[in-house]
Amino acid sequence: MGENSLARRGHEGPTPSPVIDAWIAHDRPVTVAIVALASFEIINAAYGRDTGDALLKVAIDRLGRVLSATDDLELSREGAVFTLALPLPFEAAHPLIAAIEFALAQPFAVGATTVHVGTRIGVASGQGEEAEALVARARAALADARVLEGATTRIAPPAPHRPIAQLAADLHRAIERDEIAVLFQPQVAFGNGRIEGVEALARWNHPELGELGAQTLLAASDRADLGLVLSDHILARALASAAGWSDALKHLRVAVNVTAADLSRPDFAARFLARVDTSGIARARVTAEITEGGLIDDLDGATELLATLRDGGCRVAIDDFGTGYSSLAYLTALPVDYLKIDLRLTQSIVGDRRHRAVVEGVIAIANALGLETIAEGVETEEQRALLEARGCTYYQGFLCSAALDSATLARLVGVA
C-alpha cells in the first residue's frame, strides 16, 4: 500500500470515530495509535513550508509501506499527526506500531536536505469502550510521550472496568481521602504566545485503577448523587492551589467548571463569590465556565446568576460552544466574557471544510459581540495558525501542554 493507496484508505480531518464505533458494536477489540512527527514544526520553520510538505509526503509513503499488508484499518491525518485505528488487541497491533516507529525514525532525504524527525506515539487498546474515550486515552499517552524522557511510545493504562455503581461507592471514600486532584491546563494568547490563564481539571487518583479522568469522575458523581459535593470540593482545591502560587504564576487567570446542578442552586453565585474571597485569590482572576447545556433549562435564572458573578468581579465563559444548543438569541442576552470552541471542532478545522466554517462563524460572532474566544484541543501548528489567522484570542491543548500540577506549571511558565 503506497501513498496513493493509503490516501484512498485514510483521510484528512477528524479521527474515524464512527468506524471505531462500528467495530465496538460488533464486540471487536480496538487499538488506537496516535503518531506525531516529533520535530516537524521546527523543521518547517527552519527549512520552509515546501520542505515540510515534502517531508510529509515521504512520511505518508513510509506509512503506506508499513501498512501495505493490513486491509482492515482506518487512518486519519491532521498536519503531522496521524491517528491509526485497528480492530485488533494490543498484542496483535504492536508489531505494526513498532514498525511505524522504526520507519519514521530513519533520516528523511528531502531534496538536498537530510533531516531527522523522530516520533512520539500514544497507544490505547480496549474492547467495549466508547470511541471518544479510547481516543482520549491515546491522546493522553501521546502527551506523556511528548514530555517524558525515555521510550518514544507510551501505552495508556487499561480503562477502568469496574461497574459504575462500584465507582460511585468508591467516590464517597475518595473525597474523604483526598484522592481527587486538580491539574491545570495552560491557555496561551495568540497575540504574544504567553501563557495567560489555565483551566482547572479534576483527576481521580484511584488506589486500584490509577488515574481516572473527568468523564469517569462525573459519571460516578451523578450515580452517587455527589455532584454538588464534588463540585464544591474541586472548586476549593483549585482556588487553594492558585492562591498559593509563586509570583511567577500570580498573573494567571484560573477557569473553573460550573455544572448545571450548580446553577440550580438559588444561592450559587453568592456561594461561589464567598468561596473565591475565602481563598484569597482576586475575583478578577477567576472565570466560571458553564457548558451550553447547563444554560438551557432555566435561561432567566442562569442569566441572573451569571450577571451576579460578573458584577462581583469574576468572568464568565460558555464552554464547548458550537456543539450544543447554540442560540444567538440567548447568546446576546447572557452576560459572558469568553466563548470556548469545542475541541471536536478545533481538531477538525484543518481537514473538514464545514467544521472550519462553523469555527470561523463562532469567532466572527464573538468578535462582533466584543467577546474573546478560547479554542480547546489544539494539537498541531496548522490548527494554531488557522485559528490565529481567523482572530481567535487564546488556545489550550497538547501543542502547548497537557494539564499540569502547580510545580510543573511554574517551570513551564518560567521558560515560556
DSSP per-residue string spanning 87-127: SS-HHHHHHHHHHHHHHHHS-EEETTEEE---EEEEEEEES
The secondary element (H helix, E strand) that includes residue 165 is helix 164-176
First-to-last C-alpha distance (Å) of the chain:
42
Could you give phi then psi for residue 175, rounded to 5 degrees?
-65, -40
The secondary element (H helix, E strand) that includes residue 336 is none
Q: What sign has the CA pseudo-torsion 145, 149, 153, 155?
A: negative
Distance between CA atoms of 410 and 413, rounded to whole angstroms?
5
Residues belonging to the chain: 416
The secondary element (H helix, E strand) that includes residue 69 is none
Distance between CA atoms of 415 and 161, rounded to whole angstroms?
40
Residues taking part in catalysis: 376
Residue with cell 495509535: 33
The secondary element (H helix, E strand) that includes residue 74 is strand 74-78
